[in-house]
Amino acid sequence: MTLLSLHTLIGQGVIIVQTATLYTCCSQLHAWMAAPEVFRWILDTEPEWPCPDNIKAGRDAAPRWAQEPETKHALMLLPVHEQEKVLRFYHIRDAKLSLGSQLLKHCAIVRACNVPWPESIVSKDMNHKPCYVPRGGNNRKMEFNVSHHGSIVALAGCADNDIQLGVDVVQVDLSKDIPRVRQEGWSSWVNTYEAVFSDQEVQDIVSWEPRQHVSEEDTIKAKLRHFYAHWCLKEAYVKMTGEALMAPWLKDIEFRNVQVPQPTHGLLSTEGTAWGEIWSNVEVWLRGSRIADVKMELQALRDNYMVGTAVSSLTASILPYEILDLKNDIYSVAEPG
């Protein structure tokens, strides 16, 4: 019922609405009219759950690392099947990312849907994307998406059934890529990924040049950041759809007007994390037609990360990233009091 029809019925004497009931109706209407909020979190796993130097990569590395007090504490907050998933990794850095990812999902459910930590069950939708489906349908459902690379875990979430989200974090690994680019040549290196990008995107990436004349190495670095800007946006978009890089239309979707957000040296958050520029005027095209009902955003993080976000709503409010502290923002939610 709209507010107008509600007032009309009251004026005609058809119904009598108590103050509390009217307040509830107006509150529900306000919530319906308010733009859904997309919250976004970052967790850096590098300083968390330290691993002794004598534990090397291998099949028994993660189980041994799990015996460390800090790691054991974090693992005990997860259901058994999620603990097992974390401990399957060969490298501790990957196990850390998995652990951080699981904790962020549960924290998002608890904070956004107001349910106790033990009831924050992570489900999967028809596209195998993680989500939260409350028991009995009395609480708010939630869509969220998680990405991790390097030491960073990123999560985007929204307690709105009609919103789809995709997030991707990418670390620009210059030490690995620059030698390959020099050996293969820029065009040849880019064409290695022709199955991911449209023909137009490949052409744009290959021909792109930095505006300022710089050294050969700096030119390669700038070209790589431009390449990874395209990659990050595409990953975020296809993750939003739930089909990831296996989507049959992957080469048909293309991003235009892609600008590379630059790191802002010296601009530090209170947590000491350097956030750079944001670029949100990206255009998404599919087979010659522009897709106009999706919000895209790309932001630089530190010197060598970028984070892409895709939201299937033009009215959604995309909140700035929040850097979470493990103890104050996650453990305090999992273990209140």
Q: Which two tokens stand for residue 81?
A: 């099947």
Give pLDDT tens digits for 122-154: 988 887 888 898 877 655 678 899 999 999 999
Q: Which pTM does this prediction carry?
A: 0.85
- For residue 212, pLDDT over 50 is answered with yes
Distances in Å between the Cα of 152 and the Cα atoms of 57, 79, 138 are 20, 23, 34
Alpha helices by DSSP H, listed for 12-68, are 19-33, 61-65
| pLDDT band of 321, cuts 50, 70, 90 | very high
Q: In sequence order, what DSSP letters do the residues of 106-150 get, joined into one string?
A: HHHHHHHH---GGG---EE-TTS-EEE--GGG-S--EEEEEEEET
For residues 332 and 233, what is the distance between their CA atoms, to the nearest angstrom?
Answer: 33
Q: What is the mean pLDDT of residues 71-81?
A: 97
Which residues lie closer than 8 Å to 282 by C-beta, 6 or more apart? 233, 255, 256, 257, 258, 296, 297, 298
Which of the two residues, 159 and 83, has the higher pLDDT score? 83
Q: What is the mean pLDDT of residues 224-236?
A: 96
Give pLDDT tens digits for 162-187: 899 999 999 998 889 999 999 999 99
**Three-state secondary-structure class, residue 252:** coil
pLDDT at position 17 is 34
Q: What is the mean pLDDT of the chain?
A: 86
Could you give the percent of the chain with pLDDT greater than 70? 85
pLDDT at position 98 is 98
Lowest-confidence segment of 15-24, 138-147, 265-274, 298-307 by average pLDDT = 15-24
Q: Which two tokens stand for residue 275?
A: 């956030």
Which of the two residues, 198 and 12, has the higher pLDDT score? 198
End-to-end CA distance of the chain: 42
Q: Which domains does the chain have, with CATH numbers?
A: 38-163+323-334 (3.90.470.20), 169-315 (3.90.470.20)
Give pLDDT tens digits for 41-64: 999 999 999 999 999 999 999 999
User: CA 257, 262, 267, 272 torsion: positive or negative?
Assistant: positive
Q: Which two tokens stand for residue 296?
A: 């895209």
pLDDT at position 162 is 84
- Of 179, 165, 160, give the one whose Cα is nearest residue 36: 160
